[in-house]
Amino acid sequence: MNYKTKEKIYEKILLTSAFVSVITIILIGGFVFKEGAPLIAKVGLVKFLFGTQWFPTSGEYGIFPMILGTFAVTLVALAMGVPLGVSTAIFLAEFAPPKVTRVVRPAVELLAGIPSVVYGLFGMVIVNDIIMYVERTYLAGILKPEYQRGYSILSASIILAIMILPTVINISEDAIRSVPNEYKEASLALGATEWQTIYKVLLPAASSGIVAAVVLGMGRAIGETMAVIMVAGNTVAVPDSIFAPVRTLTGNIAIEMGYASGDHVRALFATGIVLFVIIMVLNSVATFIAKKGVSRS
């Protein structure tokens, strides 16, 4: 078999793999939309998205509290995880000695390999107990009694912040390392300090990659299920505090799919449609930002 024949075979294999991936996404999306769209049409899109009552047995299908819970948990997780992740990326790219890098980078990769249920157990046993102690010791006169159990937005966000670290760190580090070395050399030659060079030159130049890392980390946080179920409290109510228990969209599907029937099942598929659209938008934003960064460089 000559070289050209082998090349054509490899090309066909890669094309087939890409085609199968696209078809798989289309089939999954089509199935979810097929099952969930009738319920949205029956209830009404506005009532489904902005209704605050979720009582499937009574025909009430409002997912607004779960949308708020999902974004509240995700945004608080980003507020905690992104600064730590970007700071770690800067350390690994610019300051860490080779010996330290050989220890830190595998540790970061290990975080990505830990099962979600292990994070959930850690949150239940350690994080929730700490938050409950703080709530009952220092905030008992402020918080509602039902909030003083540790299960909350804050607890879920801490776990998610840890879980998104590998994504944020790895992509941010790659973005920082991809900045041409001439930028740094020119800045230092003009008399800037090393930190001024990082803050004023490297980070702006790598901003598209860092933003893409944040967006992908957001998608990871929104899509997480098991760990959030175990620590968030799973209360269907509009949250009014970071100490309030919440239920996320993914958690709602996982909790109720086992016993749902009829319109209830279709409502859960409709919830999946909302998640599907959110993730598609986030991935599109990340791709757009990454391409914009490549075109600028």
Dump pLDDT digits (tens) for 128-155. 999 988 888 888 778 777 777 888 899 9
Alpha-carbon distance of 198 to 184, in angstroms, equals 8
Helix ranges (DSSP H) in the chain = 3-43, 45-50, 64-90, 98-113, 116-122, 128-138, 153-177, 181-189, 194-197, 203-205, 207-223, 226-231, 249-256, 263-296
CATH number of 116's domain: 1.10.3720.10
Residue type for position 66? M
- Predicted pLDDT at 296: 56
Check residue 293 and give its pLDDT: 57
Q: What's the CA gap between 282 and 288, in Å, rounded?
A: 10
Q: For residue 74, what pLDDT is reported? A: 92
pLDDT of 295 reads 55
Q: How many domains does the chain have?
A: 1
How confident is the model at residue 292, as a pLDDT? 67
Question: Helices 207-223 & 64-90, crossing angle to 10 degrees?
Answer: 140
| Model pLDDT for residues 203-230, shown as the tens digit of each residue | 888 888 888 888 888 888 888 888 999 9
| pLDDT attached to residue 190 | 85
Q: What DSSP element (H or E) covers 55? A: strand 54-55
Predicted structure pTM score: 0.87
d(CA 278, CA 288): 15
Model pLDDT, residue 216? 86
| pLDDT in the model for residue 1 | 64
DSSP conformation letters of 160-226: HHHHHHHHHHHHHHHHHHTS-HHHHHHHHHTT--HHHHIIIIIHHHTHHHHHHHHHHHHHHHHH--H
270: domain range? 3-296
pLDDT at position 290 is: 65
Averages of pLDDT over runs of 10 residues in the chain (297 residues) are 79 91 91 92 91 88 92 93 93 88 88 90 91 85 76 92 93 90 87 87 88 87 90 88 90 89 91 90 75 58
d(CA 210, CA 196): 18
Task: Kindly report the average pLDDT of the chain as a whole number.
Answer: 88
Best CA proximity match to 68, nearest among 50, 84, 85: 50
